[in-house]
Structure 1
Amino acid sequence: MALFRDWFLIEHLKLELNPQDERILRQTFELLRESALGQIQVPVHRDYHSRNIMMLDDESLGIIDFQDAVLGPITYDLVSLLRDCYVAWPAVNVEAWVKEYYALARKAGLMGAISEMQFMLWFDWMGLQRHIKVAGIFSRLSIRDGKSAYLDDIPMTLNYIVQVSAQYDGLSEFHSWLQQRVLPLLNYDLPALEAES
């Protein structure tokens, strides 16, 4: 998540971080890290999104770019696909798909005592962690590597960050900080995504 701080905030937005900014970032990153580490660990692709799923000649699906697969949080690939940086799904569909995944994982014996509510929190916070990191990656790809097209994908990523941080009391300070310190620096409006239910 340091990529968000270093490449998105400092390099891309030119935000001069003060001690309070640093504290809010540190506390938020720690909450998200603890949530990820508290999740059931399973094999994850780590880059499971629309651009890495291909339709093959026989109309079956092929998955590419899996060389970084590791053991990781159970919600990681799910959030990568359903809160894709390039495709916005209707919130009602996302919620239904997450609940269906949870039910299948429970049936497979993966959930133990984890409630659907806890799984949804894991999903949301994993998505927040992923989008924070991706905003930094996209900024770095533009600044360091000259791939400025990635900047076009930052608004949807930021919108996910804003929406999820608004839903949880534990993230309220981070959400307020985004509203006061980060969003005013943008030279574009965030896209209108369907409100989460």
Structure 2
Amino acid sequence: MSTPEAAQNSNAHDPRAAARTAWTRQVLGDPDAVPVRASTDAGFRSYWRVHTPDGSGLLKSVIVMDSPPDKEDVRPWLRIRALLESGGVRVPGVLAQDVDAGFLLLEDLGADTYLNVIDSGNADMLFDQAISQLLKLQTITPPDDIADYNEAMLARELRLFDEWFCGHHLGMNLDREDLQTLEDAYQFLIHCALAQPQVLVHRDFMPRNLMPVQAGLADVAQDGPAVLDFQDAVRGPIAYDPISLFKDAFLSWPPQRVTIWLELYHTRATAAGLPVPPLAQFMGDAELIGVQRHLKVIGIFARLQHRDNKPKYLADVPRFFGYLDEVLPHYPQLQGLQRFIEHKVKPAIKQLQAVAQA
């Protein structure tokens, strides 16, 4: 069990931990407060749970977000949080902040995200509630100065696949024909993304970033979960967040259920007045922006291992190749990419696995 003395001994070797503990105790007025790690994410932020007296003799729980200013400025998070809250989206409440130091005190929404609680039995209900929050988010008019999910950004993300996964992770030397094959596929995907109606896009609207707010907490949302990890929001393709929700990075669903959920989203988005195209066009848009996202995430997961020393994410890469296998055969424009993956990438993966097992 953590104690103030144990925290002090630990902090002696970690200046950031010492600053975090000191700020927490000062802002809570509790000299015995001990932040205990609650979670981390793929970036540089970390989250710490603190139990402190609530003034009535009971303990309350709060969360400290630690966002080191030299690595991850907290201002974009605060800005997008305010934007989402203004549109009725349920977001974590901010109780105190020190922007320059990179510390926020947040309400504690509990320990479980959708990823922890969703299963085949409750998925319909939870996803219906998630759609409610997503529609609120997409209805918000993007500020004029928010970044566009433009050609440069889309291309930069796609190239993470060949640079970090094919290059750094698999050690592949791509020849001119390989690079042209990838470039042709990337340009097709970019063109399709830019042709979609453009709305506010979360960019990581998936179960791990949704929290089923527990009864008894302040301002409980009756029609959807709390939304997390929204600081990278942009103006972009309307199908991006729906496909991120149903073709998740960390769990997979039968394709038939994904189709049903996408159709439900389309029906509700149409009723909400969002600029969704006719259903058949929307389903194709979702598949293709999904391909862009799957390639990007494969590259990001490789980068997390080789640059950031976070190897656990690579275990989910096969899930994304499964998603690609479902979609690529249906698009003649992506047959070159499909052949490249089948005849070059997958053999390289098997060779790497064989070396690791030897």
TM-score normalised by length of structure 2: 0.50
8 Å CA contact retained: 1:162, 1:178: no
* Structure 1 counterpart of 2:274, from 86, 110, 117: 110
Match of 1:140 in 2: 303
> Which residue identity is paired with 2:256?
V
CA-to-aligned-CA distance 1:153-188 (integer Å, 9 cap, x gap): 111012112221122222112111211111111136
Task: Give distance in 1, aligned partners of 2:342 and 2:230.
Answer: 36
Match of 1:79 in 2: 243
Matching of residues 163-178 of structure 1 within 5 Å = 163-178=326-341
Greater relative contact order, per chain length (Cα 8 Å cut-off, separation 6+): 1
Task: Give distance in 1, aligned partners of 2:207 and 2:267.
Answer: 23
Match of 1:13 in 2: 170
Match of 1:93 in 2: 257
* Structure 2 counterpart of 1:152, from 285, 298, 315: 315
8 Å CA contact retained: 1:4, 1:135: yes
Task: Give distance in 2, aligned partners of 1:183 and 1:117.
Answer: 31
Give the percent of matched residue pairs that are identical in Structure 1 and Structure 2.
39
CA-to-aligned-CA distance 1:66-118 (integer Å, 9 cap, x gap): 11112111011101110001110111111011112222222333347x32111
Task: Give distance in 2, aligned partners of 1:172 and 1:95.
Answer: 23
Match of 1:36 in 2: 193
Alpha-carbon shift at residue 124 of structure 1 (Å): 0.3
Over 3 Å counting, the alpha-carbon distance change for 1:101 and 1:55 in structure 2 is: closer
Alpha-carbon shift at residue 26 of structure 1 (Å): 0.3
Task: Give distance in 1, aligned partners of 2:290 and 2:311.
Answer: 23
Other structure's SS at 1:66 match: coil
> Which residue identity is paired with 1:184?
P
Other structure's SS at 1:120 match: helix
CA RMSD of aligned residues (A): 1.5
> Which residue identity is paired with 1:103?
T
Runs of 4+ aligned residues of structure 1 deviating over 6 Å after TM superposition are none
Between stretches 51-60 and 81-90, larger displacement belongs to: 51-60
Task: Give distance in 2, aligned partners of 1:81 and 1:177.
Answer: 27
Alpha-carbon shift at residue 122 of structure 1 (Å): 0.5
> Which residue identity is paired with 2:185?
T
Matching of residues 61-80 of structure 1 within 5 Å = 61-80=225-244
8 Å CA contact retained: 1:141, 1:147: yes
Query: Greater helix percent: which structure?
Result: 1
> Which residue identity is paired with 1:133?
K
Between stretches 100-109 and 40-49, larger displacement belongs to: 100-109
Other structure's SS at 1:14 match: coil
Other structure's SS at 1:72 match: strand
CA-to-aligned-CA distance 1:36-85 (integer Å, 9 cap, x gap): 10000111111111111112222852111111112111011101110001
8 Å CA contact retained: 1:42, 1:72: yes
Q: Give structure 2 stretches of 5+ with no counterpart.
A: 1-157, 354-358
* Structure 1 counterpart of 2:203, from 43, 46, 53: 46
Other structure's SS at 1:104 match: helix
* Bigger-Rg structure (1/2): 2
Say whether 1:131 aligns with 2:276: no
